Amino acid sequence: MDIKTDHAEVLSAELTRKLENKKRLVFYTSLILLVAGCLGMVLTQGLTAPIEKERMFLLSFRIGAFLCLLLGFLSVFLLRGHATTARAVIPTLLVGWIGLFLCSWVLISYLNCAWDTSTPRTHEVTVFLKQEVPGKRPLFLMVVRSWNNKKEVITIPITRQQYDQIQGDRCRITTKAGRFGFEWIISSVCGPAKPAATVI
């Protein structure tokens, strides 16, 4: 009896150890996705952001939700047959969904620009407002009239140099259509136009 009891205890301890390892694998996978997504958002902030952020948000939301569903199935498969499955899967799905959403946003935004072969277009726009948002890393914004819909305005992140260059109400913005149809800004030039050089 003692041998059987010892064997059962060893087997139970081995199963518990394997379960804990699987739980750590699933959770740390979700955590890595979250960290990667946050880091990607910081590194690409303002560099490849589309003008129509709402459409990009919806697409990233759908892709993130689909991938999160797959992650959920994987978690249930690895932890199947254990009473702690639900408690382990719920936090994993929460962390994983946020990470997958952020990773989807960063990847789509980057590829939308990197694979874009469309012809650049330059737009003369009216600047209604420029604003500095204070903080450790101040954010500079300008609000302009949309060139696609005259009834709408667009808020565009700009650099400190561009912020200081805004002297009037005109700005020249160059955009590309985007590989996935999300128009994005290549450059913006604010301030008075430079006079043409005189050829002698």
Greatest alpha-carbon pair distance for the chain in Å reads 108
State mean pLDDT over 29-47: 79
Distance CA 26, CA 20 (A): 10
pLDDT of residue 3: 52
pTM of the model: 0.69
State yes or no: pLDDT of 196 exceeds 50.
no
State yes or no: pLDDT of 150 exceeds 80.
no
Distance CA 130, CA 67 (A): 39
What is the H or E stretch that residue 190 is in?
strand 184-190
CB atoms closer than 10 angstroms to residue 128: 12
The more confidently predicted of residues 194 and 147 is 147
Mean pLDDT, all residues of the chain: 75
CATH class for the region spanning 121-190: mainly beta
